[in-house]
Every structure is written in structure tokens, then in C-alpha cells.
Amino acid sequence: MKTQKVDQVTGNPVVDLVLNTVEKKKQAFIFVNTKASAEKCAEDISEELDKTPACELIAEKILNVLGSPTKQCKRLANCVRKGSAFHHSGLHSKQREIIEDEFRLGNIRFISATPTLAAGLSMPAFRVIIRDVQRYGRRGMEFIPVLEFLQMAGRAGRPEFDDFGEAIVIAKSEGEKENLSEKYLLGEPEDIYSKLAVEPVLRTYVLSLISAAEVNNFEKLMNFFKETFWAFQFKDMNQLSVTIKKMVKLLVDWGFIQELDNKFRATYSGKRIAELYIDPYTANEFVKGLKRSSETVTLLGLLHLICNTLEMRPLLNVTTKDFEKLQEKSLLHEKEFLSPEPSEFESEYEDWLKSLKTALMMHEWCEEADEDFLMKEYNVRPGETRAKINLADWLLYALSELARIEQKQNLLAQINKARTRLKYGVKEELLPLLKFKGIGRARARKLFNNKIRDVKDVKSIDFSTLKKILGEKSAEGVKMQVGEKIVGNQRQLSDTF
């Protein structure tokens, strides 16, 4: 085997490898096991590189992705100035895009990343450096699967530029070197296991099969599952039959399917749930929550209901510091919750608190907290906030559909309001202004603070004042939408034309 020697310059093997890659005029990915590590690693690398004019421009772009740059944005921009970057799920999607594009163009030369990058689109580099092969899991630090290792190593070598690529895994000792090569270089990838047996997946499938009228009795249901990879793997048809029977019983109990003369039929709500593609368990929790609700619900109550679902996981972590504060909040808002608080000694309590923390985070967003604040207070990065908000929007939509079916008309308007507030991250008072195209959270707030609070106010204010508040383009757009045309700073009613 051919060996290469890499100069030890900095005492940090990753940085030394990076410097060696620079000498070769190549690019590299570095895979690490946490988001914080990805950021730190990119920072360490950037300290050894020089600024370039091209990167300076990219850094500016990255800073301006969000309204006001967060700590994370600044940190990323500082790295990018030197041609290194970090990449993980906490980044804003636009920033991720910029980094990927600029890496392809060769402006960004090093990316330190969590496995986001390994799973993502085809983006190879000459060199892949795998720094961490262990990751925190249920049983403390666990070795990552061989499959995942290969996935990362497989990013090395760009067919259009290089004849070969190098995947390097870092061992801290001779002993570790042997273990690693045995496990990952010579070892067999793990078998792939069917995920169908997981109850949430199973419930969803059973319901959708019945709903689509693919199967209408137990025998046909069994025949379907017998053909699956899951059945092929486990072979135990008796166990399979027991599990599926259990699922069917749940769906009947929840009122999502009916059994008549040994034939299954999805109910109206069952069909809709199958279409919405939410876990029937979640749907049942929603229905229970809706029944528990009175005439009015609060935003926090709704948010908490949707956060307390499997779909919303992983939830925000509750740290030791949070614990007391969350307990206080749970007491304060006790009457608002649509999913009851378990006792402190029950196993679900921890998850319940996590869902409360997640709901509180989104509530702050709806109260116009900015992303930097959310990062500080909730340890949630912009990318994660966005992902959670999208999920929440989908679940709120599903909830509104169930409210309609359950004839809870009074709640529909409140759920829809919650959706809009969440989508834009605004207080209720801004809602009338969001009807305008080109007006989001920031501009609506500006308008409101200048006493322009609805369509009527927009109509009556003169253009030059509006221009001062919004800038010319936006002001023009808004005025057009109330049927006025602006000609040389003069307004004319368009219906005079």
C-alpha cells in the first residue's frame, strides 16, 4: 500500500490535512458529529487560509440572507471570507444553497459538515476527511453504521476533475487505526431492515390501504403485508397477524374505519386522514384535543397540540436550566392546553415538556421574536426554526380539516389565523397588512408602527409618506394593489383610465 506523509504544522490533524490539500490545489469535505463541531472546525480551518475577493462577495451574500444577520450568519460569513464553510441542518436553506454552489465553482474550498452533506445531492470533493466515527445516541457514544461511513467516503473523487479521490478517516492511536480499518474498510455493511414494522408507519399504511379500497377484509390485508420486505425478513406470520389485528382494532376504536359483515370501510374522517398522510394516532389526539376545546382556544394551546405529536419530532431538548421555567409556564397556561399534562412521574412527562418548549419557541416567533433571539433562548438555529414552522403549518392544516369534519366551525377561523401568524411570524395586529403582496413581517411592522394598520389606511395615506416608510418599489406595489397608479410620484386612481 502506498503511504503519504502529511506535515504536522498546527497540531490539529484536520487542519494539517487541509493545508496539505491546499498545496495540492484541491478541495475537501470534513465530516464531524455535531453542528457545533462543524462550525468550530470550519473556523479552525479558516484561520489558516487567506481572504480572496471572490469569497468576500459570497460572505456578503450570506450575511444578507436573513433580515438581520444572526450570530451563526456572522460566524459563517467570517469563515467563507477565507474559503471555508460549515454545513448542517441549522443553516438557512439559501445559505446552504450558496455554499453548495460556490463549492462547485471552486470558490469555497473546504466544507465541514454533519451528515446532511453525505445524504444530499451529488457534490463530490477530491478529499473527504472523516474526523468522527462516533456519535451520541441512546447508549452514549455509538459507532456510526458502516453504510453511513461508506456514504461519506463515497463523496471523494470528482469524475470530471480527478482520476481518483481520497477518503481519510482520522484515528487517534495505532490501536484505533486497526479497529477502524477492520470495522469500516474491511467490514461488511449492515443489513437493511424494513421500517414498516414501526407502529406509526404500520397504522398509516393499514388506514391508507383500506381507505383507497385496496383491501376490504383482514385476509386481503394479510396478503398484502405477506408480500412486503418486512414479512420477507421476519417470516413470523403469526406475529405479523397479531400486530396488524392490533392496528385494525385501534383504527376502529378511533372511528377511522368501520367493520361491517367482516368488511372494512374507511369512515369520512378516516379517508381524509389517509389523504393528509398524518399518523392516525396523531389524528386521534387532534380529535380528542378539539373535543376538549371550548369556544375559544389560544395560539399556545393550538401550537402545543401540534407539537405534542410524533410528526413534530425531534422536539427541542429540555436542559437543566429550562426545567423550572417550563414547569412555571405549564402552570401559568394550564387552562390553555388541549393535550393534558401528564403527572411529573409518568414517562411521557419529559416529552410533554419538550413539546411545550417547542410550542413556546414558535409562540415567540409569532410574537415577532427574531432568529437571533430564538437561537439564544431556545438553542434553535434558523434552518431548524424554518423546518419546524413548515411542519407546524402542515399539521395545523390537518387540524383545521379535522375541525371542519368535527363541526368545530368556531375553531376554524382561529386555526387559520394561527397558520398565518406562524407562517409570517407576526402578532395578530399585523394580519390585515399581510394581505398585500410584497409585505411580510418586517414591512408590515414598519407600516403598523407608522399608524397604517389596514387597507383603509393604505388608501388614505399619500404616496410620498408611504415611500418614506417602505421605499419606492414596495410603496408603489402596495398602492397599485389598492387600485392606484403612480405616475411620477403622483397618485391617480386607476379607474379614471
Partner DNA sequence: GGACGGTGAAACTTCAGGTTGCCTC
Partner DNA sequence: GAAGTTTCACCGTCC
Dihedral pair phi/psi, residue 31, rounded to 5°: -100, 125
In this chain, which of 314, 324, 345, 347 binds DNA, going by CB under 7 A? 314
Q: Nearest approach, Cβ of 36 to DNA (angstroms)?
A: 4
Counting contacts by CB under 7 A, is residue 197 touching DNA?
no
In this chain, which of 67, 106, 120, 189 binds DNA, going by CB under 7 A? 120
Helix (H, G, I), strand (E, B) or coil at 344: coil
Q: How far apart are CA 86 and CA 73, in angstroms?
A: 11
Looking at residue 189, what DSSP letter applies?
Answer: P
Q: Nearest approach, Cβ of 471 to DNA (angstroms)?
A: 22
Strands 257-260, 110-113: parallel, antiparallel or unpaired by DSSP? unpaired
Counting contacts by CB under 7 A, is residue 313 touching DNA?
yes
| Cell, residue 251 | 383504527
In this chain, which of 50, 56, 101, 134 binds DNA, going by CB under 7 A? 134
In this structure, the number of other CB atoms found within 10 A of the CB of residue 346 comes to: 11
Residues 6+ away with beta carbon under 8 Å from 382: 66, 70, 72, 73, 90, 91, 92, 371, 375
Minimum CB distance to DNA smaller for 43 or for 406:
43
On the question of a cis peptide bond just before residue 382, with omega within 30 degrees of 0, the verdict is no
Choose among 408, 323, 307: nearest CA to 360: 307
Minimum CB distance to DNA smaller for 141 or for 493:
141
CB 466 within 8 A of CB 443: no
In this chain, which of 78, 107, 116, 327 binds DNA, going by CB under 7 A? 116
Mask of contacts with DNA, 431-450, x by CB under 7 A?
Answer: ------x-------------
Containing 119, the helix (H) or strand (E) segment is helix 116-119
Q: How far apart are CA 202 and CA 208, in angstroms?
A: 10
> Which span sits near DNA by CB under 7 A: 58-66, 252-260, 387-395, 402-410?
387-395
Q: How far apart are CA 473 and CA 338, in angstroms?
A: 44
Minimum CB distance to DNA smaller for 127 or for 388:
388
Total residues contacting DNA by CB under 7 A comes to: 45
**For helices 441-449 and 463-470, what crossing angle results, to 10°?**
130
In this chain, which of 22, 29, 49, 90 binds DNA, going by CB under 7 A? 90
Counting contacts by CB under 7 A, is residue 41 touching DNA?
yes
Mask of contacts with DNA, 395-424, x by CB under 7 A?
Answer: --xx--------------------------
Mask of contacts with DNA, 327-346, x by CB under 7 A?
Answer: --------------------
Counting contacts by CB under 7 A, is residue 275 touching DNA?
yes
Counting contacts by CB under 7 A, is residue 179 touching DNA?
no
Q: How far apart are CA 444 and CA 450, in angstroms?
A: 10
Q: How far apart are CA 411 and CA 391, in angstroms?
A: 20
CB 478 within 8 A of CB 450: no
> Which span sits near DNA by CB under 7 A: 53-61, 330-338, 339-347, 389-397?
389-397
Counting contacts by CB under 7 A, is residue 89 touching DNA?
yes
> Which span sits near DNA by CB under 7 A: 108-116, 182-190, 289-297, 327-335?
108-116
Counting contacts by CB under 7 A, is residue 11 touching DNA?
no
Q: Nearest approach, Cβ of 15 to DNA (angstroms)?
A: 11
> HSE of 132 in the Cβ direction (CA atoms, 13 Å)?
17
| Cell, residue 134 | 462516533
Residues that bind DNA (CB under 7 A): 32-37, 39-41, 88-90, 114-116, 119-120, 132, 134-137, 140-141, 148, 275-278, 311, 313-314, 317, 319-321, 379, 387, 390-391, 393-394, 397-398, 437
